[in-house]
Amino acid sequence: MKSLTVKEMTQLGLLMAMVLVMAWVPYLGYISIGPISVTLIHIPVLIAGLLFGVKGGALTGLTFGISSMMIAMIRPAAVTDVLFVHPLASVLPRILFGVIAGLGKPLLKGNPKKSIQILWCIGATLIHTVMVMSALYLVHFSKLSELGLVTSGMGITAFVFGFIGVALIEGIVGGVIASMAYGLLKKQVR
Protein backbone atom coordinates (compact mmCIF):
# COMPACT_ATOMS: atom_id res chain seq x y z
CA MET A 1 0.00 0.00 0.00
CA LYS A 2 1.35 3.37 -0.94
CA SER A 3 1.63 5.93 1.81
CA LEU A 4 -1.58 7.77 2.52
CA THR A 5 -2.05 11.44 1.82
CA VAL A 6 -3.13 13.77 4.61
CA LYS A 7 -6.65 13.74 3.18
CA GLU A 8 -6.74 9.93 3.15
CA MET A 9 -5.36 9.72 6.71
CA THR A 10 -8.04 12.15 7.81
CA GLN A 11 -10.78 10.11 6.15
CA LEU A 12 -9.46 6.89 7.68
CA GLY A 13 -9.29 8.60 11.08
CA LEU A 14 -12.89 9.77 10.67
CA LEU A 15 -14.03 6.22 9.89
CA MET A 16 -12.23 4.99 13.00
CA ALA A 17 -13.87 7.80 15.00
CA MET A 18 -17.26 6.72 13.61
CA VAL A 19 -16.62 3.24 15.01
CA LEU A 20 -15.90 4.74 18.44
CA VAL A 21 -18.98 6.97 18.38
CA MET A 22 -21.17 4.06 17.25
CA ALA A 23 -19.71 1.90 20.03
CA TRP A 24 -20.17 4.38 22.85
CA VAL A 25 -23.56 5.86 21.97
CA PRO A 26 -26.16 3.35 23.16
CA TYR A 27 -28.27 1.73 20.42
CA LEU A 28 -26.30 3.34 17.60
CA GLY A 29 -23.74 0.65 16.76
CA TYR A 30 -25.16 -2.23 18.81
CA ILE A 31 -28.90 -2.78 18.97
CA SER A 32 -29.84 -5.28 21.69
CA ILE A 33 -32.62 -7.69 20.77
CA GLY A 34 -33.14 -10.33 23.42
CA PRO A 35 -29.93 -12.20 24.16
CA ILE A 36 -28.03 -10.85 21.12
CA SER A 37 -26.87 -7.52 19.76
CA VAL A 38 -27.45 -6.64 16.12
CA THR A 39 -24.35 -4.86 14.90
CA LEU A 40 -24.26 -1.83 12.62
CA ILE A 41 -20.80 -0.79 13.72
CA HIS A 42 -19.26 -2.96 11.02
CA ILE A 43 -20.28 -0.50 8.30
CA PRO A 44 -17.32 1.92 8.75
CA VAL A 45 -14.99 -1.11 8.66
CA LEU A 46 -16.47 -2.17 5.31
CA ILE A 47 -16.07 1.36 3.95
CA ALA A 48 -12.47 1.63 5.20
CA GLY A 49 -11.60 -1.72 3.66
CA LEU A 50 -13.08 -0.82 0.29
CA LEU A 51 -11.43 2.61 0.24
CA PHE A 52 -8.04 1.91 1.80
CA GLY A 53 -7.49 -1.81 1.38
CA VAL A 54 -6.24 -4.37 3.87
CA LYS A 55 -4.30 -2.01 6.15
CA GLY A 56 -7.13 0.52 6.42
CA GLY A 57 -9.66 -2.25 7.00
CA ALA A 58 -7.44 -3.90 9.63
CA LEU A 59 -6.91 -0.62 11.51
CA THR A 60 -10.61 0.14 11.54
CA GLY A 61 -11.34 -3.49 12.48
CA LEU A 62 -8.88 -3.17 15.37
CA THR A 63 -10.77 -0.08 16.54
CA PHE A 64 -14.03 -2.07 16.27
CA GLY A 65 -12.56 -4.98 18.26
CA ILE A 66 -11.07 -2.93 21.07
CA SER A 67 -14.23 -0.84 21.42
CA SER A 68 -16.30 -4.04 21.49
CA MET A 69 -14.14 -5.43 24.28
CA MET A 70 -14.36 -2.15 26.22
CA ILE A 71 -18.17 -2.00 25.92
CA ALA A 72 -18.35 -5.62 27.12
CA MET A 73 -16.31 -4.64 30.19
CA ILE A 74 -18.02 -1.37 31.00
CA ARG A 75 -21.58 -1.41 29.64
CA PRO A 76 -22.88 -4.77 28.42
CA ALA A 77 -26.46 -4.47 27.16
CA ALA A 78 -27.39 -7.96 25.96
CA VAL A 79 -26.82 -11.08 28.06
CA THR A 80 -24.13 -12.31 25.66
CA ASP A 81 -22.22 -9.02 25.54
CA VAL A 82 -20.10 -9.97 28.57
CA LEU A 83 -18.61 -12.83 26.53
CA PHE A 84 -16.81 -10.28 24.35
CA VAL A 85 -14.38 -9.41 27.15
CA HIS A 86 -12.13 -12.13 25.76
CA PRO A 87 -9.95 -10.67 22.95
CA LEU A 88 -10.20 -13.87 20.87
CA ALA A 89 -13.94 -13.25 20.63
CA SER A 90 -13.90 -9.47 20.29
CA VAL A 91 -10.63 -8.22 18.80
CA LEU A 92 -9.17 -10.93 16.55
CA PRO A 93 -12.30 -11.60 14.44
CA ARG A 94 -12.80 -7.85 13.91
CA ILE A 95 -9.22 -7.35 12.68
CA LEU A 96 -9.64 -10.30 10.30
CA PHE A 97 -12.98 -8.84 9.18
CA GLY A 98 -11.21 -5.59 8.28
CA VAL A 99 -8.60 -7.55 6.33
CA ILE A 100 -11.34 -9.42 4.43
CA ALA A 101 -13.17 -6.15 3.70
CA GLY A 102 -9.87 -4.70 2.46
CA LEU A 103 -9.30 -7.63 0.10
CA GLY A 104 -12.29 -6.31 -1.84
CA LYS A 105 -10.50 -3.10 -2.86
CA PRO A 106 -8.45 -4.55 -5.74
CA LEU A 107 -11.34 -6.81 -6.74
CA LEU A 108 -13.81 -3.92 -6.96
CA LYS A 109 -11.41 -1.37 -8.43
CA GLY A 110 -12.13 -2.39 -12.00
CA ASN A 111 -15.75 -3.34 -11.37
CA PRO A 112 -17.81 -0.36 -10.22
CA LYS A 113 -21.15 -2.24 -10.24
CA LYS A 114 -23.10 -1.61 -7.05
CA SER A 115 -24.42 -5.16 -6.98
CA ILE A 116 -20.87 -6.59 -6.82
CA GLN A 117 -19.95 -4.15 -4.03
CA ILE A 118 -23.06 -5.07 -2.06
CA LEU A 119 -22.45 -8.81 -2.51
CA TRP A 120 -18.84 -8.40 -1.36
CA CYS A 121 -19.99 -6.57 1.77
CA ILE A 122 -22.67 -9.19 2.51
CA GLY A 123 -20.12 -11.97 2.08
CA ALA A 124 -17.58 -10.21 4.33
CA THR A 125 -20.28 -9.67 6.98
CA LEU A 126 -21.29 -13.34 6.87
CA ILE A 127 -17.66 -14.40 7.25
CA HIS A 128 -17.35 -11.97 10.18
CA THR A 129 -20.36 -13.55 11.89
CA VAL A 130 -18.98 -17.06 11.37
CA MET A 131 -15.62 -16.00 12.86
CA VAL A 132 -17.17 -14.25 15.88
CA MET A 133 -19.66 -17.02 16.65
CA SER A 134 -16.99 -19.70 16.21
CA ALA A 135 -14.70 -17.82 18.60
CA LEU A 136 -17.52 -17.48 21.14
CA TYR A 137 -18.27 -21.19 20.87
CA LEU A 138 -14.63 -22.20 21.28
CA VAL A 139 -13.79 -19.77 24.08
CA HIS A 140 -17.07 -19.69 26.03
CA PHE A 141 -18.84 -23.02 25.48
CA SER A 142 -19.59 -23.49 29.20
CA LYS A 143 -20.98 -19.96 29.61
CA LEU A 144 -23.10 -20.37 26.47
CA SER A 145 -24.45 -23.62 27.97
CA GLU A 146 -25.35 -21.79 31.20
CA LEU A 147 -27.24 -19.17 29.16
CA GLY A 148 -29.12 -21.93 27.33
CA LEU A 149 -27.74 -20.90 23.93
CA VAL A 150 -25.83 -24.17 23.46
CA THR A 151 -26.76 -27.70 24.41
CA SER A 152 -24.20 -30.40 25.11
CA GLY A 153 -24.96 -32.16 21.81
CA MET A 154 -24.96 -28.99 19.70
CA GLY A 155 -22.01 -28.72 17.40
CA ILE A 156 -20.28 -25.54 16.35
CA THR A 157 -21.98 -25.59 12.93
CA ALA A 158 -25.49 -25.62 14.42
CA PHE A 159 -24.57 -22.82 16.82
CA VAL A 160 -22.99 -20.62 14.14
CA PHE A 161 -25.77 -21.12 11.61
CA GLY A 162 -28.32 -20.09 14.24
CA PHE A 163 -27.04 -16.55 13.76
CA ILE A 164 -26.94 -16.47 9.95
CA GLY A 165 -30.36 -14.76 9.72
CA VAL A 166 -29.15 -11.83 11.81
CA ALA A 167 -25.91 -11.78 9.80
CA LEU A 168 -27.85 -11.59 6.53
CA ILE A 169 -29.80 -8.57 7.79
CA GLU A 170 -26.57 -6.93 8.98
CA GLY A 171 -24.91 -7.80 5.68
CA ILE A 172 -27.68 -6.43 3.47
CA VAL A 173 -28.05 -3.20 5.46
CA GLY A 174 -24.27 -2.82 5.75
CA GLY A 175 -23.69 -3.72 2.11
CA VAL A 176 -26.14 -1.17 0.77
CA ILE A 177 -24.92 1.63 3.05
CA ALA A 178 -21.21 0.81 2.57
CA SER A 179 -21.64 0.61 -1.20
CA MET A 180 -23.37 3.99 -1.32
CA ALA A 181 -20.75 5.59 0.94
CA TYR A 182 -17.92 3.96 -1.02
CA GLY A 183 -19.32 5.38 -4.27
CA LEU A 184 -19.46 8.88 -2.81
CA LEU A 185 -16.12 8.79 -0.97
CA LYS A 186 -14.20 7.02 -3.75
CA LYS A 187 -14.48 10.13 -5.90
CA GLN A 188 -13.13 12.31 -3.08
CA VAL A 189 -10.30 10.01 -1.90
CA ARG A 190 -8.47 9.89 -5.21
pLDDT at residue 67 greater than cutoff 70: yes
Q: What mean pLDDT is predicted for residues 135-152?
A: 75
Whole-number Å distance between alpha carbons of 125 and 47: 12
CATH code of the domain occupying 6-189: 1.10.1760.20
Whole-number Å distance between alpha carbons of 117 and 101: 10
pLDDT digits (tens, 9 = 90+) for 10-32: 999 999 999 999 999 988 887 77
For residue 3, the model assigns a pLDDT of: 81
For residue 170, the model assigns a pLDDT of: 85
Burial of 52 (C-beta count, 10 Å sphere; 0-12/13-18/19+): buried
> Can you give the residue ranges of every domain in the chain?
6-189
Q: What mean pLDDT is predicted for residues 156-179?
A: 80
Whole-number Å distance between alpha carbons of 5 and 85: 35
Inter-residue contact 177 to 122 (CB < 8 Å): no
Q: What is the mean pLDDT of the chain?
A: 85
Whole-number Å distance between alpha carbons of 69 and 72: 5
Inter-residue contact 26 to 77 (CB < 8 Å): yes
DSSP 8-state code for residue 29: S
Among residues of the chain, what percentage have pLDDT more than 90? 37
For residue 94, the model assigns a pLDDT of: 96
Please spell the DSSP secondary structure of 130-146, one letter per residue.
Answer: HHHHHHHHHHHHHHHHH
Inter-residue contact 108 to 102 (CB < 8 Å): no
> 154 versus 133: which is more confidently predicted?
133
pTM exceeding 0.75? yes
Q: What mean pLDDT is predicted for residues 96-113?
A: 85
